[in-house]
Amino acid sequence: MKTEQAGFVEHITPKSEDFSRWYTDVVLKAELADYAPVRGCMVIRPHGFAIWENIQRLLDGRFKATGHKNAYFPLLIPESLLRKESEHVEGFAPEVAWVTRGGQEELAERLVVRPTSETIICSMYSRWIKSWRDLPVLINQWCNVLRWEKTTRPFLRTTEFLWQEGHTAHRTAEEAEQEALRMLDVYRDFATNDLAIPVVWGQKTESEKFAGALRTYCIEALMTDGRALQAGTSHNLGQNFARVFDITFLDEDNRLKHVWQTSWGVSTRLIGALVMVHGDERGLALPPAVAPIQVVIVPIMPPKDKEAVLARAREIAARLSGRFRVHLDDREEYSPGWKFNDWELRGVPLRMEIGPRDLKAGQVMLARRHSGEKESVSQEGIEETVARVLDEIQKGLYERARRFRDENTHDVDTYDEFQSIASSALPGFIRAGWCGSAECEAAIKAETGATIRCIPFEDAGKGTCVRCGKDGGRIVYFAKAY
C-alpha cells in the first residue's frame, strides 16, 4: 500500500503566491485538461468533460423548457458570407483562421473556421423564413469554435473552445428584446443556482458590445484574484443581420418585413470560473449541481474487517446511487489518507468514510470539501442526510462567493481612489459614475486597465463621472477582467 505522501499530487502553488500558476496547477493536477500539441489548444480530460456535460445537461433543459430546439450548422463558412456584414467581419478579422486548400487543390473561395455562426445561420434563415407563421425561430447549437488567440490559458481563453450559441428570429422588436433578456436571466439563474456563482448583470457599453449587435447584455462574475470574468452574453441583434442577409417574412398585414434577431452563448470558460471562484489551496471545490461525483465513499479496511466494511460500503453506495452521483473508492493500492487528498484535489463535494468503528456504531463520517467540516451521522436514513448536506454545501459555496464579491465591491467618488483600488493586489468591482462618453471610457481603460463590465439593470442612481467630473452620470461596474 502506498503511503499518504508517496505518489500523491505534486505541490500546488499557493494562491497568494502566484494566482496564475495556482490556477494552471489545479487545472492540470485535478486532470481537468492538458495542453494539446496544437498551440493554444487544450485536451479536455474526462473529469473536466464530465463537468461540461453536466453544464450542458442543466442548460439544455432550461433552453428546451423555454421552447428552443437544438440544431447543427457547418464548421466552415464561405468568406463571402462573413464579409457581408462589415462591422461583424471587422470585429472578428484578427481572430479568424482560413482554409485555403482542399486536398491538393486551391479553393476558389477561402473558408473561415467558424469564430461564431451568425453569418451561416442567417443565410439559412433567409431560406427558411417566409411568413409570420414561421416565427419565432428558436434554435440553439452545441459546438466548437476557433479564434486565433495570441495569449491563451486553459478554459479561460483558448484557440478552440466548446460553447452553445442560441440564434432566434422574431416578428417584432419587442419580442426580440424580451428574448435577449429572458435568455440572460436563464444564464443568471444557472450561474446562481447551479454554479453557485453570484453575478452582476446589465448592458455592455457601445465599445464593449458584440460586433454587429444592437445591444449586448451580460453576466459578470468576480474571481478570487479580484478580476472579473464575463460568464455569459445575450445580444439583441436588431435587424442588422436580417437586412444584410435579406431575412424577410410576409406579415399578417400582407407587408414584407425584416425579422428581429438575437444570439446568446456561454462556453467552457465557465469551468475556469468554477476553479477560480470556488477553488482553494487544496484544489477544486465543486458545487454538487455540476460535480461529476457528488459523494465519494472511502472504506477504511484493516485486513480483519475488510470484507464486512466493504459489504456495508457497497450497500450504502447502492442505496445512494439512485439519487446521487456516487463513487465507491475500494482501491487497495492507496491508503485512505492518499484517497482523501486525491478526492479533495478533484473537488468532490462530500466524502463519506466508513470503518470498523463506524460499522459497530451504525454510523458513517461525512466530510464537506468546501469547509473541511466533519460529522458522524447515522446510516439509517442516509439518503435524506446526504440530500440535506449536499444542499447545504451548494448554498454554502454560493454564500461564500457572494460575501467575497460584496466585500470586494467598492463605491468610489474620486479618480485618485479609483486608480488606487484598480492598481491594488485585489481590485474587485469598482462602482463609480460614468458620463456616458466613449472618451472617458477609453481613457480610464488606458490609464488603469479597468473596463466597464456592465451598466447594471438595477438603478444604482446617478453620480459624477469619476474621470471628467460631469454631473448626472450612470453608476456602472468597472473591473480588470480576463
Q: How many CB atoms lie within 10 A of CB 64?
A: 13
Cβ pair 42, 35 in contact under 8 A: yes
The span from the CA of 250 to the CA of 240, in Å, is 18
Please state which architecture CATH assigns to domain 295-405.
3-Layer(aba) Sandwich (3.40)
Helix (H) or strand (E) holding 111: strand 105-113
**pLDDT score, position 4:** 43
Answer yes or no: is pLDDT of 6 > 50. no
Answer yes or no: is pLDDT of 2 > 90. no
Answer yes or no: is pLDDT of 88 > 70. no
Do 295-405 and 409-479 have matching folds? no
Of the candidates 347, 68, 140, 126, the one whose C-alpha atom is nearest the C-alpha of residue 242 is 126
Beta strands in 171-321 (DSSP E): 200-203, 215-222, 228-238, 248-250, 256-258, 260-267, 295-299
Three cell numbers at 100?
485555403
**pLDDT score, position 183:** 98
Per-chain mean pLDDT for the chain: 95
Q: How confident is the model at residue 87 (pLDDT cuts 50, 70, 90)?
A: confident
DSSP H stretches of helix in 43-196: 46-65, 79-82, 86-92, 118-128, 173-193
pLDDT for 180-198, tens place per residue?
Answer: 999 999 999 999 999 999 9
Q: How confident is the model at residue 7 (pLDDT cuts 50, 70, 90)?
A: very low
**pLDDT score, position 462:** 85
Spacing of C-alpha 297 from chain mean position: 29
Cβ pair 320, 366 in contact under 8 A: no
**pLDDT score, position 422:** 98
**pLDDT score, position 472:** 87
For the structural domain made of 19-278, what CATH number should be given?
A: 3.30.930.10
Please state which architecture CATH assigns to domain 409-479.
2-Layer Sandwich (3.30)
Q: What is the CA radius of gyration of the chain?
A: 25
Number of alpha carbons in the 13 Å side-chain half-sphere of residue 480: 20
Bridge pairing between strands 105-113 and 215-222 = unpaired
The span from the CA of 112 to the CA of 81, in Å, is 10
With 0.85 as the threshold, say if the pTM is over it.
yes
**pLDDT score, position 1:** 40
pLDDT for 380-411, tens place per residue?
Answer: 999 999 999 999 999 999 999 999 999 999 99
The span from the CA of 482 to the CA of 478, in Å, is 13
pLDDT for 223-272, tens place per residue?
Answer: 999 999 999 999 999 999 999 999 999 999 999 999 999 999 999 999 99
What is the identity of the amino acid at 146? L
The span from the CA of 112 to the CA of 132, in Å, is 32
Answer yes or no: is pLDDT of 159 > 70. yes
Q: How confident is the model at residue 10 (pLDDT cuts 50, 70, 90)?
A: low
pLDDT for 278-320, tens place per residue?
Answer: 999 999 999 999 999 999 999 999 999 999 999 999 999 999 9
Residue partners of 162: CB distance under 8 A and separation at least 6: 44, 52, 142, 143, 144, 267, 268
Cα four-point dihedral sign 108, 240, 116, 438: positive
Cα dihedral: 336, 13, 48, 321 (round 10): 30
The span from the CA of 316 to the CA of 302, in Å, is 19
DSSP 11: P
The span from the CA of 42 to the CA of 49, in Å, is 12
3-state secondary structure 323-348: CCCEEECCCCCECHHHHHHHHHHCCC
Give the domain ranges of the chain: 19-278, 295-405, 409-479
Residue 201 forms beta bridges with which residues? 219
